[in-house]
Amino acid sequence: MVYTSKSRRSFIKKTVASSAVFMAGGILPQFSAKSYGQIIGANKKIKASIMGVNSRGTALAKSFAHQDICDVLHICDVDNRAISNCQLALKDRQALEAKGFTDFRKSLESTDIDVLVIAAPDHWHAPASLLAMQAGKHVYVEKPCSHNPNEGEILVQAAEQYGKVVQMGNQRRSWPNVMEGIGALKNGVIGRVYFGKGWYSNNRPSIGIGKEVKVPDWLDWDLWQGPAPRKNFKDNLVHYNWHWLWHWGTGEALNNGTHMIDLLRWGMDVDYPTKVSSNGGRYRYQDDWETPDTQIINLDFEKGLTMSWEGRSCNGKSVEGSSVGVMFYGENGSMLIPGGNSYTIFDLQGKITKEVQDDKKVDPRNATNPAEHLDALHIRNMFDAIMNGSKLNADIDSGHKSTLLVQLGNIAQRVGRSLDIDSKNGHIIKDKEALKYWSRTYEKGWEMKL
């Protein structure tokens, strides 16, 4: 079947109808005994489809396939080269060969698929998650969970409405030493925490000035754009530089800041701020890059709590010996959680009082697969939630809240002033210009609807 945006409604009707079959129970006429055996609970095997496998998605495909209770049945990508490469990468992870799809919606039609894993560009995260839930699938979505705040709120509602497990890729929430450190923090190991600082640094090169050229024959450019209004193809967009263009991407703040803001929000036990500001800009090069390459986001919360995030995309000088990390500051000391599965506690004089390390190295600048051995724990947590109803470490409600904080920072950056925020729901107060960024314009027929 060849899809267009106009086929979205018929797709949803078809997939919702097919998902209802599972709820009915029993071996229905359209299912053979073999296909029934693939339903979760019949043989405790989870079947996954991976969307977006050019880089990070292939790493996730390998991680999912490596789990003994999971088979990767489908590989989906608008780049046919990426499909082939991912299929090849899975050969040493599972016996069966995953089937390839250019259009992930064809994969969602399959009653064999239980989980959609989403590692496509940011503008796809929320729309694909919603379509998957409407097709009766659980969702593992990489950060950020949404391109804009409205999409995040829709996903939270959808997870409840459709009763699906939705885990966001805030993998550190499942890393044992990080969990231990956050637990100690909440138990008062450094006293009352009142300030948290996060950061990310790198040495990203210029993306140059793109030229409009013919779309490569290996790429479905229309489907790559999907929900986003159409633009002509340029030779410096695919596969990574879209991150730095507001039309599709969300900048370094959501690309990497989401992880650190999530740790700060978790450790400081806060949800929504009262005030958000951002300073910075595109300073290093003069090119097509639109989002800040240098940015400091500040967030104030009730009860005298403040956090900040510093992003430096084009100057890789480390902070506290790590290119990425967070520091919590309290009445009696501080706690450092760097890029890996470790933490260090300091007293008020800066003397180390406790240090917990992981013997396996994590490379936070590896955009593809920084910590596979630890990511597996996050995946298994999701599987346990699907099979046994266990609590997710990074459910969509939590993921949305952390994503929203950096989205608010980007909105403050774009309007050039601080924002007053309703601490009850995270909404922007009395600022019409800022509220224009709360949602986005979609390509006709691709609007997100519950």
Measure the CA–CA gap between 356 and 345, rounded to whole angstroms.
9
What percent of the chain stands above pLDDT 70? 88
Listed residue (282, 237, 7, 22) closest to 137, CA to CA? 22
Task: Return the pLDDT at 1.
Answer: 46
> What domains lie within the chain, and their CATH numbers?
175-209+221-364+397-429 (3.30.360.10)
Strand duo 46-51 + 70-76: pairing = parallel
What one-character DSSP code corresponds to residue 219? B
Task: Return the pLDDT at 119.
Answer: 98
Measure the CA–CA gap between 378 and 110, rounded to whole angstroms.
25
Task: Return the pLDDT at 368.
Answer: 53
| Residues 6 or more apart whose Cβ sits within 8 Å of residue 95 | none
Task: Return the pLDDT at 78.
Answer: 98
Task: Return the pLDDT at 22.
Answer: 34
Task: Return the pLDDT at 359.
Answer: 77
Task: Return the pLDDT at 14.
Answer: 53
What is the DSSP code string of 15-54? HHHHHHHHHH-S--TT--HHHHTTSTTTSS-EEEEEE--S
**Under-70 pLDDT residues of the chain:** 1-43, 362-371
Task: Return the pLDDT at 405.
Answer: 98
* C-alpha separations of 126 from 293, 396, 439 in Å: 25, 11, 12
| Residues 6 or more apart whose Cβ sits within 8 Å of residue 165 | 138, 139, 159, 382, 385, 386, 392
Task: Return the pLDDT at 28.
Answer: 28
